[in-house]
Chain A
Amino acid sequence: MTPAPSPEVLQAPLVVEFPFTRSLGPVQSAFLTGLRNRTVLGVRTTDGRVLVPPVEYDPVTADELADLVEVAPTGTVTTWAWNPAPRRGQPLRTPFAWVLVRLDGADTALLHALDAPGPDAVRTGMRVRIRWAGERVGAITDIACFEPYDGAGAGEAVPHSGEFADPVSGIVAPARLDYTYAPGRAQSRYLKALAGRTTYGERCPSCRKVYVPPRGACPTCGVATDEQVEVGPRGTVTTFCIVNIKARNLDIEVPYVYAHIALDGADLALHGRIGGIPYDQVRMGLRVEPVWSADGRYPDHYRPTGEPDADYDTYKELL
């Protein structure tokens, strides 16, 4: 038994980035296409209110809505918040006010940014107008921001067909979030040992099973695992599959074999690629050992050891 060393926490940057592609219904499509054409559309509810931005279903009655109307590009601030330090992705690079604006002709308010010299220039009830983006694509960001405006209200919403040439039918909403990933005590110990080409599992104090890679808890007993046990380096293929699809950004020729490998001394199989043997000769029970690339921090793949195959009875519990 090796006592667990005091954990030195590992951390690494983790970026989650995704371009969500979203389709639009008829109302949202008309609204966003309208913005591309410097036209602001709302939708009239069955009880006569005008919702801007428009939705397909009434938030009060749940009635389906499709009665489009045009409202003015001018309006009144209903509430605001001064943002002294704009963040990534927000509409303006310089300090600005977040505002909810009730456009003239609308009964509800739209969230956007207001370009103003400072918080003293902003108040609830102030008049504003849309500043359009130079390039418009059919997105809420076609409104670059709002700006102060001296004029009075421009009256009622007027009916609109909602028809435009070449309507937008979807948006692409790119998102990026930056994290600092920290794997915790058990996985930090595992990864640090692995960098020295030693594989540690952790034993459950209750059921005595050895988990690889350890995650800090025994999933059967629900208790912490903290006794480190060196396992491997050799192991047995318990099951496998033949991969025929080339993964993007992965420089491995297909077909290849991906396998569950029970390292000697472990009570759970981990997975890895099998190399050094034709793919159609890999079999359950094959004895394998890790192959490290020169600067690798984990085994690049596993290859046959040349030992006789393991008896099925020795690994059947680990399938």
Chain B
Amino acid sequence: MRQVAIVAFGQSDHRPDSAETSEVEMLMPVLHQVLDTVGLRAGEIDFTCSGSSDYLAGRAFSFTMALDGVGAWPPISESHVEMDGAWALYEAWTRLLTGEADTALVYAYGKSSPGDLREVLTRQLDPYYMAPLWPDSVSLAALQAQALIDAADTGADERALAGVAARSRTAAETNPHAQLTGSPPPEALLDEPYLVRPLRRHDCPPIGDGAAAVVLAAGDTARRLCPRPAWIRGMDHRTEAHSLGVRDLTRSPSTRLAAERAGAFQAPVDLAELHAPFTSQELILRRELRLADAVRVNPSGGALAANPMMAAGLIRLGEAAAAIHRGAAGRALAHATSGPCLQQNLVAVLEGDVL
């Protein structure tokens, strides 16, 4: 089977408010950056795929506006997913595996600032039994966090959650794109009030606007475009039952299964970029992914430092790939999630050629 690699990655600075730019104005510099990295023009890309959400924009077919930024006239081969761009990357990967294309541009963006994100996200819930109650995204994550704390076998407590927050935001100090950087020590964080108990503000991701893009290429094209391509050795995504009440919220069997199918357990990884918007979710993911203590988790700061909706998962794949590009990782795992309480999960395994 032909091998496909991530050969370029770019992201915007993630900010709480970007009212001065439209979506396409926010996205375009990122698109130009990744295309410049590989020396291609938009018209030379074989396949383009994007992730975004109309509910963030408050407008139907909002992704068509962003298409202006890739030069979609004359018509290009293009597709869109109404979820995180990591799933757009999955679609592009399969397209390249079939041999239909040699290069693909994948991008994702989200502006949360125009609306009330916690309310907007209620619209992705089951419309009969859940959405009429308007349970917001932080409250649902808090139910999951409490279940984790109550479970006897996890060792999770509020101190452990604060430790995830402090480590992530401290790591983000070296990430120039991050929205939140730096943290008091975990003990000090525990003095803060609850947002929705048991979650405090530090347990939750920042709400912000941002965009990201990657270029994929197959085989020899990848070697030509990038000195050290990040080869996608495996990728898989799985989903849980949509009703929260039928799930064990302390586990993520979909992540475990996706990781198995992606080949994540065939050899140890040295770096993992996990899309865990809430501190408790990182603890769940670490267990399902069987990550050893030596694995560097989210050296970018992860979603706790910047969580632009629909782009934060794609950024995990991009950050993992970028670490391979610069020789800072040999085998990396990237995870993306979409929906409430780790509803859908995608796992990819990336490798560089042996140095």
Contacts and interface: CB of A to CB of B under 8 A. Distances in A.
Interface string A14-44: 1010001010100010001000000000000
A102 B244 CA distance: 12
A186 interface: yes
A312 B192 CA distance: 71
A88 B68 contact: no
- Interface of A: prevailing SS: mixed
Contacts of A178: 115-116
Contacts of A128: none
A185 interface: yes
B245 A20 contact: no
Contacts of B133: 89-91, 111-113, 140-141
B321 interface: no
A265 to B, nearest CB: 20
A82 interface: yes
Contacts of B259: none
Most chain A CB within 10 A, of B65, B132, B136, is at B132
Given A88-B119, A98-B139, A182-B20, A140 B69 contact: no
Contacts of B199: 81
Contacts of B198: 81
B114 A100 contact: no
Interface residues on chain A, size class: 35 or more
Interface in B96-152: 113-116, 118-120, 122-123, 127-136, 139-140, 142-147, 150
B124 to A, nearest CB: 12
Most chain B CB within 10 A, of A20, A119, A220, is at A220
A82 B196 contact: yes
B297 to A, nearest CB: 25
Interface string B23-42: 11100100110000000001
Contacts of B77: none
B197 interface: yes
Contact of A100 (B197, B242, B245): B245
Contacts of B194: 82, 84
Given A91-B133, A216-B24, A11 B143 contact: no
Contact of A222 (B25, B68, B113, B150): B68
Nearest to B116: A178
A215 B65 contact: yes
B20 A184 contact: yes
B68 A219 contact: yes
Contacts of A182: 19-20, 22, 114
A131 B77 CA distance: 55
B241 to A, nearest CB: 3
Contacts of B123: 175, 177
Interface string A147-179: 000000000000000000000000101010111
B243 interface: yes
B127 A224 contact: no
Interface in B239-285: 241-246, 249
B116 A81 contact: no
Interface stretch (A51-59, A229-237, A282-290, A301-309): A51-59
A109 B245 contact: yes
Contacts of A177: 55, 58, 115-116, 119-120, 123
B21 A184 contact: yes
Interface string A210-249: 0000011111111110000000000000000000000000
Nearest to A112: B133
B196 A9 contact: no
B184 interface: no
Contacts of B68: 215-219, 222
Contacts of B20: 7, 9, 182, 184-185
Given A83-B139, A111-B135, A179-B58, A119 B22 contact: no
Nearest to A188: B20
B186 to A, nearest CB: 21
A116 interface: no
A114 B23 CA distance: 40
B227 interface: no
Contacts of B42: 221-222
A185 B128 contact: no
Contact of A217 (B69, B114, B127): B69
B143 A79 contact: yes
Contacts of A55: 243
Contacts of A220: 71, 73-74
Contacts of B21: 184-185, 216
A221 B128 CA distance: 45
B266 to A, nearest CB: 27
A315 interface: no
A78 B151 CA distance: 11
B132 to A, nearest CB: 5
B132 A141 contact: yes
A90 B241 CA distance: 23
Given A108-B243, A111-B130, A222-B71, 14 more contacts: A55-B243, A79-B147, A87-B119, A88-B134, A100-B245, A109-B244, A111-B129, A124-B150, A140-B129, A173-B131, A182-B19, A187-B22, A218-B68, A221-B71
16 contacts: A78-B245, A80-B143, A81-B196, A82-B142, A82-B194, A89-B133, A90-B133, A98-B143, A102-B245, A111-B143, A173-B131, A186-B25, A219-B72, A222-B42, A223-B71, A224-B28
Interface of A: 7, 9, 11, 14, 16, 20, 22, 24, 28, 32, 51-53, 55, 59-60, 78-84, 87-91, 98, 100, 102, 108-113, 119, 124, 139-141, 171, 173, 175, 177-187, 215-224
8 pairs of A and B residues whose beta carbons are closest in the complex:
A184-B22, A222-B71, A81-B142, A59-B241, A109-B245, A89-B134, A82-B197, A182-B19
